[in-house]
Amino acid sequence: MRVERGLVHSFMSHYADIRKILLVRPPRYLWPFINESDNFLLPLGLPCIAASVRRAFPEITVKIIDCPPLKMGWKSLRDIIELERPDMIGAGEEALYHHEAARLFSLAKDIDPRIVTVAGGHFFSWMYEHSLKSFPLDFIVRFEGEETIVELIAALRRGTDLSGVKGIAYLKNGRAVRTALREMVSDLDSLPLPAYDLMPMGRYSRFGYIWPQSATLEHSRGCVDRCNFCSLWTFWGTQKRNDIEKGELEVSPRYRTKSVQRTLEEVDIVYKKYGRRYILWADPTFNVQPEWTNEFCEGLLKRNYKDLYWWAFIRADFTLRDEKLGILAKMVRAGMVHPLIGVERCCSEDLRLLKKTAYTRDMIKEVFAIFKNKYPHVFRQGTFVTCLPFDTKESMLDLVKYAVEIDIDYPAFHPVAPVPGTFLYQEVKAQGRLLEPDFSKYDWATPLMPSETGLSRAELSDLNMELNKRYVLYRPHWLIRGLFSRHKHKRGLYRWFLKNTLKMFFLSLWDALRGKRSVEGFTGFMRLKRPGWYES
């Protein structure tokens, strides 16, 4: 049953009486590489949407059901929906988990066909036509959703023409309709504070060793780079054409930030009211504006939160700048213990092909040397993109040599995933090289693209595991140094890294003894695993 085709006309009175909305993160499988507590961090989109709806419609009851940290399976979720009887259910997902949201929408319609189903987030925003025709969806809120969801609800309650609501998609007479793009919110401070009171705040990473007692925050949206494998900058960028299902994608980077005062207010709330002691910054790049970063760190230092730590994506070129300005030292003093830098590749030509143009080998080496020598308690992590079409065995192994050269604590070697919304997805789809139709395998652990150098997906998977083994197991002095570090946070992360690398090693050995040679190996270890509570 679709909106313009039936629901708007048959249930107009129901729309006018929208009084209860459930926003849901459905049950899902676990990443085996980290413990269950670290698996499920606070999903920032839900409390942001809830806060906007609540401010615009104080008479509407808004509830959030975040199933994973509550260990709530599908049976329990059905019971809650039947008990609550909401007028609208919303969920937003990335490609990897979109099928869980689709199952939620099917469940809602099975309980009551009149429930309005609304999807958002990365996957549904980009793949709107596929989603509307494949799943029991009434509406898709595309891209930034705070203002769009408010206008959609208002239009439904008034019974006015939906074509005037910017930023949505729906079916009309069996045809997918998308309305005009909505302009991004220019002043992020104008958005209400996230509705943390609707979240199970005490359940996030209670026993985590990567992000202990964490809360997810953002001070900015967007990025300043154009990496072809990333959908974050395209999602938040200035879009001129965004119908990727028709091969159209034209977007330029855009960066917006909240004020320092607003950001500090959010930090104060999660620290004082909810006892969070670790902040996971969701910003694609935390350290874009040095003036902002400097003022923020000074404000945080004045608060003297001695037990508050944080994790952030930072750029290498901006980090060198911040070190010269004295800002990096303030970031570390203010609690940054785990920066993550996108190293990606060791070859300038590879970086050019990935559209990551500002980095050089010497720059990366200098950044990690600064952290090692001046800030030894900081855990130095870098990400590397692997299993590219032009990769050979030699180019893959060069990455682990590069990681050794720059001497980082944890190199994360990820097979590239051409997810919808990236220019890489557009490229491989146009070339007919999109081999894997199942988006639930777009997990940054499974090799997905065909090799141009004769390597099979199984060989690429084995090579990816070999990178991890060589960095950890073949360098005992490095491992011992980390395991016995005098810095508690770093020591715990080294123990986590060793435990999981040993798991991968023995999995590989077991596969070899059984004669199993497939696209498993590293992939088999990293593939999402079903938790015991999933169907409960």
In the chain the domains, ranked by start, together with CATH numbers, are: 3-188 (3.40.50.280), 192-457 (3.80.30.20)
Specify the residue for token string 């099979």. 456
Local confidence band at 21 (pLDDT 50, 70, 90 cut-offs):
very high
pLDDT band at 512 (very low <50, low <70, confident <90, very high): low
pLDDT of residue 9: 41
The predicted pLDDT at position 447 comes to 87
- pLDDT greater than 70 at residue 207: no
Report CA Rg, the chain: 23
Mean predicted confidence (pLDDT) in 319-328? 98
Q: Are strands 175-178 and 214-217 parallel, antiparallel or unpaired?
A: unpaired
- E-strand ranges in 326-389 read 336-344, 381-386
pLDDT per position as a tens digit, 134-153:
999 999 999 999 999 999 99
Cβ neighbours of residue 291 closer than 8 Å, sequence gap 6 or more: none
Inform me whether the pLDDT recorded for 171 exceeds 80: yes
pLDDT given at position 515: 62
Query: Residue 178 region, left (φ>0) first, then alpha (ψ -120 to 50), else beta?
Result: beta
**What is the structure's pLDDT at 477?**
81
Higher pLDDT, residue 436 or 42: 42
Q: Which of 253, 244, 305 is nearest to 278 (CA)?
A: 305
Cα dihedral 319, 324, 327, 332 in deg (nearest 10):
70
Confidence band for 510, pLDDT divided at 50, 70 and 90:
low
pLDDT of residue 433: 84
Mean pLDDT of the chain, nearest integer = 89
Residue 392: half-sphere exposure toward Cβ, Cα within 13 Å: 4
pLDDT at 514 (0 to 100):
66
- Kind and range of the H or E run holding 237: none
pLDDT at 250: 93
Angle among Cα 392, 395, 398 to the nearest 5 degrees reads 150
Handedness of CA 430, 224, 302, 327 (dihedral sign): positive
Q: What is the pLDDT of residue 10?
A: 45
Following CA atoms 172, 178, 182, 188 in sequence, which dihedral angle do they give, to the nearest 10 degrees?
A: 90
State the angle between helix axes of 146-158 and 45-56 in degrees (0 to 180), rounded to the nearest 10. 40
Side-chain-side CA neighbours of residue 488 (13 Å)? 4
**What was the pLDDT predicted at 286?**
97
Here the contacts of 524-527 (C-beta below 8 Å, separation 24 or greater) are 525/32, 525/33, 525/465, 526/31, 526/32, 526/33, 526/443, 526/445, 526/446, 527/32, 527/443, 527/445, 527/446
CA 245 to chain centre: 22
Give the C-alpha separation, 211 to 311, whole Å. Answer: 8
Position 426 pLDDT exceeds 50: yes
Q: Which of the residue ranges 213-217, 330-334, 464-468 would you say has the lowest mean pLDDT?
A: 464-468
Where is average pLDDT lowest: 307-311, 444-448, 516-520?
A: 516-520
